[in-house]
Amino acid sequence: MKIIIYLAASANGLISNDRNVPDWLSPQYGQGFMSISQHTKAVIMGKTSYNILAPDYLPLKEEGSLVVLTHDTKAIPPQSNVLFTSDSPEKIIAQLAAKGHTEAVIIGGTQTVSEFVKAGLVNELILVVEPVLFGKGLPLLKDVEFEYKLSLLDMKKLNDNTVQLHYQIREGS
């Protein structure tokens, strides 16, 4: 299964400010976020990202699969396609594949991204670099002991100040 990370980052590489409020994201990021979610029909996120989006801004309504990594697996999801789980990345991928998914997108946050990267399951990274600097916030990765080489697949200027970088994670890096 192809796993893609789609995230926005500040110019200094943080994926969230210390307020954890996404008021710094461009409309172009939001459009890309919705587009890739609709394309893959399988979205993986952590509980903090879910809490920011739910219920009004979830990228999939009743179709597809929304997987939320959380320790609170007894929570009642607001829609039938949401799964709260504490399963390993490998098990989550197997569950999505069993449902017929061939691609999935991870949309946040640091812990979720780090777990999938550590498991060696991520194929591509799409990073939308927004024109802002944060003194404090969340990094893309945390407690990842590996070094991964990337190949640039595409670069787009999304607006006057925002760029999108699309990388492939090299095999064996």
Taking 90 as the threshold, does the pLDDT of residue 153 lie above it? yes
Domain, as residue range, for 131: 2-169
Instruction: Supply the pLDDT for residue 173.
Output: 61
Mean pLDDT value of segment 85-111:
97
- pLDDT, tens only, 3-23: 999 999 999 999 999 998 999
Taking 80 as the threshold, does the pLDDT of residue 171 lie above it? no
* Beta-bridge mates of residue 104: 3
d(Cα 93, Cα 78) in Å, to the nearest integer?
22
**CA proximity to 101, closest of 145, 57, 142, 60:** 60
Instruction: Supply the pLDDT for residue 172.
Output: 66
Query: What is the DSSP code (8-state) at residue 36?
Result: H
- Structure-block tokens of residue 46: 């952590």
Q: How many CB atoms lie within 10 A of CB 79?
A: 12
Domains: count for the chain:
1
Question: 171 to each of 40, 62, 94, 121, 123, how far by Cα in Å?
Answer: 22, 35, 20, 11, 9
Mean pLDDT value of segment 108-122:
96
- Structure-block tokens of residue 63: 């179709």
Provide the CB-side half-sphere exposure for 47 (13 A, CA): 12
Taking 90 as the threshold, does the pLDDT of residue 146 lie above it? no
Which CATH number do you get for residue 58? 3.40.430.10
Question: Dihedrals φ, ψ of 127, to 5°?
Answer: -115, 120
- Mean pLDDT for the chain? 95
